[in-house]
A and B are shown apart, each in its own frame.
Chain A
Amino acid sequence: MDSTSPDFSSPAGARPDASPSDTPPPLAIYFDGLTNRRRLVTLAFGPDLDIVEDGAAAATWRYDDLRAVDGGPGTLRLKNVAGLPLARLEIRDPAPQAEIRARARFLAIGRGSPQTGRIVGWSLAAICSIVLIVLFGVPLVAERMVPLVPMSFERRLGGVVDNQVRAIFGGKVCTDPEGNAAFAKMVEKLREASHVEMPLQTAVLASSIPNALALPGGKIYLFNGLLQKANGPDEIAGVIAHEMGHVRHRDQIRVVIQNGGTSFLIGLLFGDFTGSTAAIFTARSLVDASYSRQVEGSADAFAIETMHALGRSPAPMGELLFRVTGTQGNKTIGILASHPLTEARRELMRREDRPATGPDILSPAEWRALKNVCGPQRAK
């Protein structure tokens, strides 16, 4: 702390003229705002503050124009809002500091952050608005924007995803002609019953993962793994109808818009908040999962409707899903799940079970052909 004591004859000042003869008037250091010359001055507290150097007035500052700025411990550093922006007056003695504080009324304006309440208030308002936008605004905007996205763009996006899906699942398209003919027949029936008008491209992929996917732009993949778990054509038909629901609702492009919007807004919300990535990740997972569950729920409703239109029961689809996943309630955290829980979906489809009124979707021979579309399978 020694270095900050008001010791002007130290090597720092190095001014021989600071002799002890002029003790009464308080000392200060003045920078005139033009150069960095350190001018040793005295202060005269008149109606205005007179800054005097070697007996001559160097400057006169009005008390109301004085503002305190950072000056280091123990130093009162002043600027003059009516003067040059960098002109500074530094007072290190407590007595003249007190004198200034008593006379200058607006010393503290613009200092520190006394507006903390306002910052907190505005931040809370911003958080509320972002949360509301994420929960209600983004789905609404996505809903309105989806019809505006041209089909050609969606197909282009589908091309990108297609490349990635094939890279990830390593799936080759199964080529058995009879199996593909049976699959095409099923797809055509479902499409007529559900009035899906956009062109569809469907294929069975030789992947052992039990799944089916709809890509943007009307591409539907059935994975052989799911096909092999199915016991009858109605089970697979329900799943394909579900995927058609995604295509019909253009869910993929909607999800792209929704997830892009939320991740941007949530990132904005947390900003650079110390290591916020995990918080962002959690928040995004929750929001995306809730969007996703809504979307899946409506695709299920679409599948049920389509199966009813064909005079077939949607219940077998629920049984197939349950066979694939088993009971999920004790393994999955509901609010983080992307789909409604399988047991809930099976319940829903069982409730919609009706005796068959329409013809079989595929004949037993066609079903056998479809099962073998990726080559003859080993007996279970």
Chain B
Amino acid sequence: MDDTVLAGPAPGRSARVAFTGARTDFIRLVRRGALLELVTAGFYRFWLATDIRHALWSGTSIEGDAAEYTGTARELLIGFLFALAILVPIYLVYFLIGIEIERAKAFASLPLFLFFYAFGQFAIFRARRYRATRTVWRGVRFWMSGSGWAYAWRACLWTFATIFTLGGLLPWRESALERYKMRHLHYGDLPARFEASGWTLFKRGWWLWLLAFLIIPIPFIYPAYRAILWRWWIEGVRFGTLRFESVLEAGDLMGLYWATIGWIVLFMSLAGGAFGIVAAALPHLLGAPAGATGIVWLIRQHPVLIIALYLVDYLAIALFAGFVVRVYLVRGVWERVVTSATVYNLENADNVRVMGGLASALGEGLVDGLDVAGF
């Protein structure tokens, strides 16, 4: 990385993006977070998400200067409460409209899901805006203009076209939506834009599209798709003449996804085995009459016990899965992706002036409330 700078003829300053967050610290953070999520029935998620972002942002640095996440858990909590205040009346109206429509024809209310899809896209845009305005590098923050609804109807049209072409238009959907989001992103007074084309993405990923029709290899296809998408995305981002390159290969995320799958399957078998052993031993301990089929006897005589046992097992698996996903798919993928990138023409991002205000966390709350995934 340093070589490019010292080589002289290179037109601008460049640097490899570094990640220095310690894995053990992150594991400790996530383990504690998972236990607290259990104790608080999930209310801790706002604090955990914030802690995770602090860890990822501050571990990522360019030219030795680490990024800073300035968001707080309280903002996320308030965003969630606002989202509830908006969603509750909407759900009610949705319910009443549903009754009116269904009366005309049974099961005709399904298209109303479209409205919720659009709302989810709105939420995705606003959530990214929140994260951007909470990201600071070298004492200047990122910010976003643009309209969540303008984004939402674009996303809906593109999704419709993508479904209609069995996924064939997905690359063009990605590039059009990313162009909208990135042309409204700014770093201080330096505007961003997005220059990667749908055609480039199509050329890199068309074989995955064909394989996807076979269904079976999806656990292989998805990691490859994510890797291709990330590299394409990184290489499309521009701030003035500042640009990025990435050396991420299609197979680079495969290990992380398969480690996740492997750990979860292993833990599920262990938890399932433990459940079986306890369920087999309990009838003897509780004095089941001879000749009674153990598990049937148990379900009939102690249904609460067996449901409690099942819930404990289930929660243990859910907690462990959440933990593994955060270690491998959140931190692991983040580290792999950011360290694959090199920034060029850094001098273009010198002497940037602070601009732009903070956005509310409403989008984050809506993403949480509507359970949509997206970035």
Contact = CB atoms under 8 A, between A and B. Distances in A.
B300 A335 contact: no
Contacts of A10: 2, 64
B41 A11 contact: no
Contact of B40 (A87, A120, A157, A278): A120
Contact of A269 (B41, B106, B311): B41
Contacts of A141: none
Interface residues of B, number: 76
Contacts of A29: 65
Nearest to A111: B54
Contacts of A260: 95
B42 A273 contact: yes
A71 B73 CA distance: 18
Interface string B33-47: 000110111111101
Interface stretch (B136-144, B145-153, B269-277, B278-286): B136-144
B368 to A, nearest CB: 5
Interface in B301-323: 303-304, 307, 310-311, 314-315, 318-319, 321-322
A84 B140 CA distance: 11
Interface in A26-55: 29, 31-38
Interface in B45-81: 45, 47, 51, 54, 57-59, 61, 63-66, 68-70, 72-73, 80
Nearest to A90: B65
B20 A271 contact: no
Contacts of B100: 156
A164 B5 contact: no
Nearest to A278: B314
Contacts of B69: 70
B296 interface: yes
Interface stretch (A17-25, A123-131, A237-245): A123-131
B351 interface: yes
A336 interface: yes
Interface string B87-106: 01001000100011011011
Contact of B43 (A32, A90, A119, A278): A119
A163 B103 contact: yes
A269 B43 CA distance: 8
Given A70-B66, A167-B106, A278-B314, A113 B307 contact: no
A276 B51 contact: no
A69 interface: yes
Nearest to A33: B139
Contacts, number: 191
Interface stretch (A58-66, A72-80, A176-184, A356-364): A72-80
B42 A271 contact: yes
A260 B91 CA distance: 10
Contact of B351 (A33, A36, A116): A36
A216 to B, nearest CB: 10
A275 B42 CA distance: 11
| Max count, chain B CB within 10 A of own CB: residue among A10, A75, A84, A273 | A273
Nearest to A121: B40
A197 interface: no
Interface stretch (A298-306, A326-334, A342-350): A326-334
A273 B349 CA distance: 40
A23 to B, nearest CB: 20
A86 B42 contact: no
B21 interface: yes
B353 interface: yes
Given A36-B140, A119-B36, A330 B300 contact: yes
Contacts of A106: none
| Max count, chain A CB within 10 A of own CB: residue among B22, B41, B103, B140 | B41
A275 B43 contact: no
Nearest to B352: A36
B157 interface: no
B223 interface: no
Contacts of A127: 40-41
Interface in B83-131: 84, 88, 91, 95, 99-100, 102-103, 105-107
Interface string A152-174: 00001101100110110000000
Contacts of B61: 3-4, 72
Given A3-B64, A4-B66, A166-B106, 17 more contacts: A3-B20, A4-B20, A4-B61, A12-B15, A31-B140, A88-B68, A110-B72, A123-B43, A127-B41, A163-B103, A271-B45, A273-B37, A274-B37, A274-B319, A278-B314, A286-B307, A336-B307
15 contacts: A35-B188, A70-B69, A73-B22, A73-B59, A77-B66, A88-B139, A113-B73, A119-B36, A122-B43, A163-B102, A271-B42, A272-B45, A273-B318, A282-B314, A333-B303
Interface of A: 1, 3-4, 7, 10-12, 14, 29, 31-38, 69-73, 75, 77, 84, 86-88, 90, 110, 112-113, 116, 119-120, 122-124, 126-127, 156-157, 159-160, 163-164, 166-167, 260, 264, 268-276, 278-279, 282, 286, 329-330, 333-336
Interface of B: 2, 5-6, 13, 15, 18, 20-22, 36-37, 39-45, 47, 51, 54, 57-59, 61, 63-66, 68-70, 72-73, 80, 84, 88, 91, 95, 99-100, 102-103, 105-107, 136-141, 188, 296, 299-300, 303-304, 307, 310-311, 314-315, 318-319, 321-322, 325, 349-354, 368, 371
**4 A-B pairs with the lowest CB-CB distances in the bound complex, closest first:** A31-B139, A72-B66, A273-B42, A123-B40
